[in-house]
Structure 1
Amino acid sequence: MQLPQIRLESQMAKIQIQKTPPQQRIQQPEAEMSIQQPKADLSITTKPSKLTIDQTEAWEDLNLMHISKRIEKFADEGHKAAMEGTARRARQGAELMKIENAGNPIANQAITNAFDQMKRIGIKFIPSHFAVKTNYEPSEVQIDVKVNEPIIHVQPQKPVHTYATGDVSVSMRQYQDLQIGFVNLFSDSV
């Protein structure tokens, strides 16, 4: 005997997804930049050095002096000789006033006054040490510098940003299906 049957055939629905990825692009242009460096302002002032040489004393030692100096020298020597002569005469006069004391002042004074003193032998035309006077004033240098700051101009650039959105599309790949069938519903035997 055959039993009636219900046959079910089903098919699941299937979807499909297609995806397009997004695209992003970022570019950073370089900044526009200019730098200028002005030269520093420099000024230099110099006071020249000075050398003075005074050889007046050396010329005087060589007996080559100015006439006013020579007159002054001779006047001093004359005054000194006059003072020494006065002192000698006063001393010798005092000795003669005391002639009664021991000694022979007249003979001694005659010998002393009769002869000139011995002259010193030597070279007199060589200048004395350090007769030439020198004086040196070094030069002075003054340097003034004014520093100028650099001139910097910068213009930044904005980044270039492009973005293309992605896409997702969903569609049916396969629809659901249900098949119902009946078998042996009506039998031939009665």
Structure 2
Amino acid sequence: MRVSHIAIQSTDAYIGMRANRSHPQIKQHTADLQIRQTHTGMIEINTKSAELSIDQTQAFAEANLKTPFRLADEFYQRAQQKAAEHLTKRRQQGDQMMKIENGFGVLGRLAKVNSEKPQGQLQTVNMPRSVSSTKIHFEPAQVSFRVPNHQTDIKVNRREPDMHIPKWQTETYVKQKNSISFQAVGAAIDSSL
């Protein structure tokens, strides 16, 4: 036996979405920058040169390298000393000859002393004879700086960026409508009723 029944067929509704997302636009303007620097009175540098003085007068004198004036002065002093020594020796010898009462051998002794030459002596010396013979004086160089202090004038005018950010929009729409349908299956329907 066939039982009649109702077949129901339905479809769901679907909603669609359309999104419009445009990109933001940002424009940054360059800053207005003004720098002012005065350059008057540049750096001043003063230098005092180093001084080196070397006095080798004594070292040269010890090596017998002397000026004519110094040679003449030393010769004069030696001559005075030798003359004084010679006069002293002659006076002493004259005193000895006056005293004849001491005997007659005085003349022979004096002749022997006067005829003998002094014996030379060999000496080894360094030239110059001492380290202090050369005098060295050194004054180092001096450098002084003068730098004027000038301030730099800097002005910055800020410029805000231009920003354009459009709104994001989303649209919704019905992509598929819902529907329902009924159908009688397996029976004869009296539609006259």
Q: TM-score, length-normalised on structure 1?
A: 0.51
Aligned-pair Cα RMSD in Å: 3.5
CA distance in 2, matches of 1:57, 1:127: 8
1:50 positional shift: 1.6
Q: Which residue of 2 aligns with 1:87?
A: 88
Identify the structure with the greater strand proportion.
1
2:130 paired residue number: 129
Give unpaired runs (5+ residues) of structure 1: 1-30, 158-190
Residue by residue over 1:103-151, the C-alpha shift from the partner in whole angstroms, topping out at 9 and shown as x without a partner, is 9654443332221221121246832113322221221222222222232
- For 1:124 and 1:82, how far apart are their aligned partners in 2? 28
Structure 2 residues not aligned, in runs of 5+ = 1-30, 160-193
The answer for the alignment partner of 1:65 in structure 2 is 66
SS of match in other structure, 1:87: helix
Distance 1:150 1:102, change over 3 A: farther
Equivalent position of 2:145 in the other structure:
143
Aligned-partner Cα distance in 2 for 1:133–1:49: 17
- Distance in structure 2 (CA, Å) of the matches to 1:102 and 1:45: 88
Give the match's secondary structure for 1:89. helix
Sequence identity, in percent?
Answer: 28
Q: How many matched pairs?
A: 127
Aligned-partner Cα distance in 1 for 2:108–2:124: 35
TM-score (normalised: structure 2): 0.51
Q: Which amino acid aligns with 1:52?
A: S
Give the match's secondary structure for 2:71: helix
Tell me how far 1:52 sits from its aligned partner.
Answer: 1.9
